[in-house]
Structure 1
Amino acid sequence: MQAWQVHENGEPNEVMRLAEVARPTPGEGQVLLRVRAANVNFPDALLCRGQYQVRPPLPFTPGVEICGETEDGRRVIANPVLPHGGFAEYALADARALLPAPEPLDDAEAAALHIGYQTGWFGLHRRAHLKAGETLLVHAAAGGVGSAAVQLGKAAGATVIGVVGGADKAAVAHELGCDVVVDRRSEDVVAAVKEATGGRGADVIYDPVGGQAYAQSAKSVAFEGRIVVVGFASGTIPSPGLNHALVKNYSILGLHWGLYHAKNPKLIQHCHEQLAELAAQGVIKPLVSERVSLEEAADAVQRVADGATTGRVAVMPRNGAVA
């Protein structure tokens, strides 16, 4: 079978190599899946760079989110078990963690309903307890993680402010349903949020970016607001001023979605059921901006790493299909 492999750490387009390799053999509790679609996530770039919290042995195949098909023909979504990731014709997954692919979604959309939407659901509902009528601020609102949070925020009845970088991404954020869109390249984010909220600030801030975005969040959060720290796509991990959180009465909430697999896996299943119902109602629909061939996977990972994409980019192996 064909699979992309990383033999040394570095930039994705420099270290990912497409090779002919043996089909992986499932271990105890694992299942072999035919990959129908594999979505590109920022952690794939971090894996290539050797900067992710999980460091699989070299060589490994990246690709942390797939829609696959079991040997008995079931269409499922899964997080592949590294080193046998999803940018390949076949991948391995934990049999207990398989989730049914929602029928209304095609393969690429089904794969995209997993990491980004589960992260959004846990961040907004489990951690921040977002309520209808509140204001939600989403950084990188046109990206894969951000676009999921925008849709989930709207589904929860929140007013959503999306922060983006550039006119093209602003247009995407408007299409996603953001009530207010702020282009950080041409606007003062803090001033724009204050204006949009009558000076009060945002009740919940969803931040997968870190760095300057977090600094803006601390200045834009409302009294008793909640900042959900999701990741650091900017490459800079902020050092929050806890004295500022104290005097302004806001909460800083960490979210490591993967930890729920170990600490409370039943919540993963419950979350998926909620997401599948929203998808069936047409309330949420993953934004898949591109579908590329397996041969184009390294370029796709690099573009995601560079912040040059919107929504999700899906890699479609030749043996994959659109449902």
Structure 2
Amino acid sequence: MIQHRESLPIILLAGPTAVGKTFLSMELARRLGTEIVNADSMQIYRYMNIGTAKPTREERALVPHHLLDVVDPDEAFDAARYLELAAPVVDGLHARGKIPLVVGGTGLYLKILTRGICPATPGNPDIREALKREEKERGLAEMHAELLRVDPVLGRKIHPHDRQRVLRALEVYRITGIPLSSRQEQHGFQETIYPSIKVFLYRERDEIYKRINERVLMMMEEGFLDEVRHLMEMGFGPELRPMQSLGYKQLVRHLLGEGTLEEAVEQIQRETRRYAKRQMTWFRGDPEFRWFHVHDVEEIMEWIQNVVAGIS
């Protein structure tokens, strides 16, 4: 059991993709005299910069960032590994009297950093390979339908296109005979690792969608297609989980001759809008997050300072 850290809190800064987290995080870090800890599940990968909207070298020179460029795209990485790496960073910042600013849109990473993690079920290579064969024969939609039958609680939470999580949930069920959701419920995320201040940034939906469309076009101008081509030339194949992520997946398909570039860009825009909607749904489920409009910098700072004063 991870024990509660009694010293300083951590600040969690979340929000949907394209809301403006990077700009605001830089401003808050500057005012608080602290450093940023990444909580974006794609920015941990090396060589994946444009498509993940990773902070630039100039931004990193202004404010130190942690947990960027941690592993190559063909290396395994999960929530347990994130907690293993993030906790020492947070403790190190606390030891220097700084309040860590944890920034990202990956809700699970933020959750386990403050509430711990359900002990993982060891994988079974034979079952995993059998599931992969079944998915090729039956299709992902049927695998998700099976998950809904054996674990309806988790099946409703996992997106039907999230291949990794669908197959992992089925693997756990076949190994243990117990739905993964039941194991998670028993754990309950009831540990308290760090006292936390949770900020969620929002914009109006139409504005978010407009920014997403524009950002995808900007990424293309910055060389997103060349980035994906370079990754493939380095030997990172389309079967890898990061290469199946939003944006990369669509451009990989285009480079393999499946559809035009225009179609790929439109798909990225559409799927990113859907992803932003899912992010907002996720964070609405955590009442500890206080929602602020991204422009309310002074109000956010005042609230953070008041909460810190109350904790200390």
Structures share fold, TM-score greater than 0.5: no
TM-score (norm 2): 0.31
- Return the structure number with greater strand share: 1
- Return the structure number with greater helix share: 2
TM-score (norm 1): 0.30
